[in-house]
Copies of this chain bind each other. A is one copy, B any other.
């Protein structure tokens, strides 16, 4: 019999779901949320639950390979992307995935990345002590084959300069963001979504190509 999931991990996931739902980032049963547990385990949302009203019954444990501890439960379809972040970055303690209007619309129109520059909120990311910085947020093509999608993510990481930006977009699908703990992951998510919403707003008032320059 598997160990129970620590109460603090469940609370962190439930509260993250509530906060993401308040912002309309987890419509229908979209989105998924996870926390790293001791011993190579991950607590993650089960498939098919609305994130506004999670409880302990909506959270399950998987291994770093994504395999459910209880084979009767089905984890989020994209569990493999969560596990990929935990495997690649030992310091990561929480991963969140949401769908916002801004990340959906911009990722559908973007090439292979979205540039963000000159925002004070860039400081929400590690290694950026000043607003006078620029990041290229990776945008990957959507794929229902999650193993193949995770391989594409890893191939992209291999091409990126260190430190790897703790997040990426999937085209027409949403954002993945991670951090050392849930508070940090959510702060980075809020910072990123804020900058994407600013980009959207800026484009909406500027019909010129390349209109997002400061």
Contacts and interface: CB of A to CB of B under 8 A. Distances in A.
A164 interface: no
B101 A129 contact: no
A115 interface: no
Given A109-B202, A131-B142, A144-B130, A27 B121 contact: yes
Nearest to A188: B28
Interface in A163-214: 170-174, 183, 187-188, 190-191, 193-194, 197-198, 200-207, 214
A203 B205 contact: yes
A88 B104 CA distance: 34
A50 interface: yes
Copy number in the complex reads 4
A127 to B, nearest CB: 15
A210 to B, nearest CB: 13
B105 A29 contact: no
A214 to B, nearest CB: 4
Contacts of A170: 120
B207 A207 contact: yes
A100 to B, nearest CB: 9
Given A99-B194, A171-B214, A120 B105 contact: no
A192 to B, nearest CB: 9
Nearest to A191: B28
B187 A28 contact: yes
A5 interface: no
Interface string A55-96: 000000000000000000000000000000000000000000
Contacts of A207: 207
